[in-house]
């Protein structure tokens, strides 16, 4: 009788800001079809996790009251993700699912940190990740909120852009009222020669008070 060896998958979750986001390496099947599972764990409920994998699908879910969120039926390869919740610092990172010779589990623990009270502005994007094909464009809504009664104009920009990607904001500058918020539409245009893959793009708001605030946006070029 032909014996089959059980293959295991190790899901590595690497996140670079404070927060308890844990990933488990869970196993899976033994033959040609290979699927894996990623489990996010957090000491903070209500965190939205957005993940893009080698199949270029955007997977989004919210960590429940039990502190867990599970993604299943995942193909082998690299994964990039962002975890966000209002009032907390956004976390982002990358990891991978790969075949193994034994069953295993890998855990990374990072504590979700409350957004620092001394920071005068808060920036967010909707969605947190966008998939754009080569030669096409996509849009993201960027919202900046005044936390410490900062008022005035702010200019919008991006950094860490991959080769061949250009951006435009509408409007290019926002006007904040003290304690209020303002939004701008970010248009990302991906060139036909931009390498396929996942990228973290920095979205930046700079105010007339010389305050700069930035946030990572996950861009998948397909």
* Contact indicator for 15, 110 with CB cutoff of 8 Å: yes
Rounded to 5 degrees, φ, ψ at 183 are -125, 155
* Strands lying side by side in the sheet with 36-41: 22-25, 36-41, 68-74
Q: Output the pLDDT for position 160.
A: 96
pLDDT digit string, tens, across residues 139-172? 999 999 999 888 999 999 999 999 999 999 999 9
Q: 137-146 and 181-190: which strand pairing?
A: antiparallel
Nearest to 63 by CA among 84, 78, 34, 37: 84
Would you call 100 exposed, middle or buried from its count of C-beta atoms within 10 A (0-12, 13-18, 19+)? middle
The neighbour count for residue 49, using CB atoms within 10 Å, is 24
> Which residues lie below 8 Å from residue 33, measured CB to CB, with a gap of 6+?
none
Name which CATH class applies to 121-221: mainly beta
Among candidate residues 169, 164, 158, 167, the one with its CA nearest the CA of residue 134: 164
Q: Which of 185, 23, 206 is nearest to 104 (CA)?
A: 23
Beta strands 181-190 and 173-176, pairing class: unpaired
pLDDT band at 32 (very low <50, low <70, confident <90, very high): low
Residue 200 pairs with which residues in a beta bridge?
218
Q: What order of strands is seen across the sheet that includes strand 152-159?
A: 129-132, 212-221, 197-207, 152-159, 173-176
pTM above 0.85, yes or no: no
* pLDDT tens column, 58-116: 999 999 999 888 888 888 888 888 889 888 888 888 887 777 632 323 444 456 788 88
CATH 2.60.40.10 spans which residues of the chain?
Answer: 8-100, 121-221
Residues 113, 21 contacting (CB under 8 angstroms): no
CATH 2.60.40.10, domain 8-100, yes or no: yes
């Amino acid at each position: 009788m032909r014996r089959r060896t059980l293959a295991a998958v190790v899901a590595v979750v690497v996140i670079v800001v404070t927060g308890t986001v844990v990933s488990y390496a869970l196993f899976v099947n033994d033959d040609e079809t290979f699927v894996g599972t990623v489990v996010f764990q957090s000491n903070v409920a209500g965190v939205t996790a957005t993940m893009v994998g080698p199949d270029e699908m955007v997977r989004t879910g919210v960590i429940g009251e039990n502190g867990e969120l599970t993604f299943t039926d995942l193909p082998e390869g690299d994964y990039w993700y962002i975890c966000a919740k209002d009032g907390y610092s956004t976390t982002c990172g990358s990891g991978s699912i790969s075949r193994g010779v034994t069953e295993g589990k890998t855990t990374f623990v990072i504590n979700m940190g409350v957004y620092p009270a001394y920071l005068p502005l808060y920036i967010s994007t909707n969605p947190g990740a966008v998939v754009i094909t080569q030669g096409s464009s996509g849009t993201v809504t960027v919202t900046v909120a005044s936390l410490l009664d900062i008022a005035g104009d702010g200019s919008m920009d991006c950094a860490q852009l991959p080769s061949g990607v250009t951006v435009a904001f509408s409007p290019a500058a926002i006007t904040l009222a003290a304690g209020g918020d303002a939004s701008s539409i970010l248009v990302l245009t991906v060139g036909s020669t931009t390498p396929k893959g996942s990228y973290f793009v920095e979205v930046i708001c700079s105010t007339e008070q010389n305050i700069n605030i930035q946030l990572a946006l996950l861009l998948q070029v397909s």
